[in-house]
């Protein structure tokens, strides 16, 4: 069997339980009825929830727009700028691959990290409730010596670094667009992300004391055999090793800036591709606002970000500061999301083909995992 067939298994004595639910560290999470991956046993409810959120977001974005207006705007797009947009997105993926390689203590190559990230995007885009990150972690454990929990803990660091970077953009731009109490919300989000990063750094710097404190808490509550809880914690601490080095910490921060700078450039090039005479007077400011707005929109649990992303991008561009018309703003959102979506799916598919993984098997096993 291919050692990288992350969602297949050899042990038939487990009653065909998908591998994500067989990982001891993840089993309690994946088998919960209200978790994130295998948690909601009613498959129909998951699909309905995602559809409702997506439809609501699309309605909010397109309620005053005719499809013919969107079609006209797409026909008038300057595709050379769209091509540059694709280049910017590839650049962000490359930066992500370098950053993840550092977080994994260089246990994987940049090439493998790039492929694994693309597979993660593919699975997130085509599967409800975003199975991409756990699948990427399991894949990394099969592609290298990295454990599943260590890989998952790096995802937490990734999300924290991304949140901090996005919040920096938000705080910088909010004084120029004046949208109610968003400044307070942005500062709170930034403070939470900063505290989380400090906690993770302290855990990385003092793993023995962290384990000792955790053991005392477990024994005090009590929560049963301490080793049952400490083994996953050790995996998390292993994944936090990159935060022990100030040099690596600086590299992670700079790579995070590189990632999001590529995203901002992506949104600027799309303005040149679509908006033409309707270009905002300050394209960089508009791109920064679209960046943090869509990042928040993608956090909504819709399928592949559809709906939440479109509503956020449309809202950002139609702010009085930018005054882009609804049809152009919606077209911009559709094209921006479509480029990102198709890139993730296509490059993830290429990675599956190169490594000999069946997409059909991957999707069906992921669906079985959700049903467990």
**pLDDT value for 187:** 65
**Side-chain half-sphere CA neighbours of 227 within 13 A:** 0
Q: Cα dist. 86→228, 286, 352, 370 in Å?
A: 46, 19, 21, 33
User: Is 254 within the bounds of a domain?
Assistant: yes
Q: How far apart are CA 98 and CA 114, in angstroms?
A: 8
User: Is 175 within the bounds of a domain?
Assistant: yes
**pLDDT value for 178:** 64
User: Is 149 within the bounds of a domain?
Assistant: yes
Q: How far apart are CA 243 and CA 154, in angstroms?
A: 10
DSSP string, 119-181: HHHHHHHHSTT--HHHHHHHHHHHHSS--HHHHHHHHHHHHHHHHHHHHHHHHHHHHHH--TT
**pLDDT value for 20:** 41
User: Is 357 within the bounds of a domain?
Assistant: yes
**pLDDT value for 273:** 94
Q: How far apart are CA 157 and CA 154, in angstroms?
A: 5
**pLDDT value for 2:** 40
Per-10-residue mean pLDDT, the chain, length 372? 37 40 38 39 68 85 88 92 95 96 90 92 80 78 78 82 84 75 61 77 83 84 76 71 79 92 96 91 94 87 85 93 92 93 91 77 49 44
The residue segments making up the domain with residue 190 are: 66-362
Rg over alpha carbons for the chain, rounded to the nearest Å, is: 21
Give 171: exposed, middle or buried? Use CB within 10 Å, 0-12, 13-18, 19+. middle
Q: Where are the alpha helices (DSSP H) in 206-307?
A: 207-220, 226-239, 246-274, 283-298
Q: How far apart are CA 330 and CA 313, in angstroms?
A: 8
**pLDDT value for 148:** 74
User: Is 227 within the bounds of a domain?
Assistant: yes
How many structural domains comprise the chain? 1
pTM greater than 0.85: no
């Amino acid at each position: 069997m291919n050692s990288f067939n992350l969602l297949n298994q050899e042990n038939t004595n487990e009653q065909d339980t998908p591998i994500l639910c067989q990982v001891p560290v993840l089993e309690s999470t994946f088998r919960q009825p209200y978790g994130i991956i295998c948690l909601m046993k009613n498959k129909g409810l998951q699909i309905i929830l995602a559809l409702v959120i997506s439809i609501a977001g699309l309605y909010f974005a397109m309620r005053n727009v005719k499809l013919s207006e969107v079609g006209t705007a797409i026909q008038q797009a300057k595709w050379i700028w769209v091509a540059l947009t694709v280049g910017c997105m590839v650049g962000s993926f490359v930066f992500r691959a370098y950053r993840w390689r550092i977080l994994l203590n260089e246990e994987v190559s940049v090439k493998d990290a790039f492929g694994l990230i693309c597979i993660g995007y593919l699975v997130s885009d085509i599967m409800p409730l975003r199975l991409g990150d756990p699948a990427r972690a399991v894949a990394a454990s099969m592609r290298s010596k990295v454990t599943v929990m260590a890989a998952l803990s790096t995802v937490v660091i990734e999300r924290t670094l991304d949140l901090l970077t996005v919040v920096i953009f938000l705080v910088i731009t909010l004084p120029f667009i004046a949208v109610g109490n968003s400044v307070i919300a942005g500062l709170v989000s930034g403070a939470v992300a900063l505290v989380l990063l400090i906690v993770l750094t302290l855990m990385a710097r003092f793993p023995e004391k962290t384990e000792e404190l955790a053991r005392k808490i477990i024994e005090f509550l009590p929560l049963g055999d301490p080793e049952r809880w400490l083994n996953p914690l050790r995996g998390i601490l292993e994944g936090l090793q990159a935060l022990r080095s100030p040099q690596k910490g600086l590299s992670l921060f700079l790579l995070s800036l590189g990632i999001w700078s590529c995203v901002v450039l992506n949104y600027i090039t799309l303005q040149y591709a679509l908006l033409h005479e309707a270009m905002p007077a300050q394209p960089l400011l508009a791109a920064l606002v679209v960046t943090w707005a869509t990042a928040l929109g993608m956090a909504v649990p819709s399928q592949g970000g559809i709906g939440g992303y479109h509503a956020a991008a449309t809202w950002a561009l139609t702010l009085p500061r930018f005054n882009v018309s609804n049809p152009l703003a919606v077209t911009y959102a559709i094209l921006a999301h479509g480029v990102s979506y198709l890139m993730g799916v296509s490059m993830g598919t290429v990675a599956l083909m190169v490594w000999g993984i069946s997409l059909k098997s991957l999707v069906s096993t992921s669906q079985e995992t959700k049903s467990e």
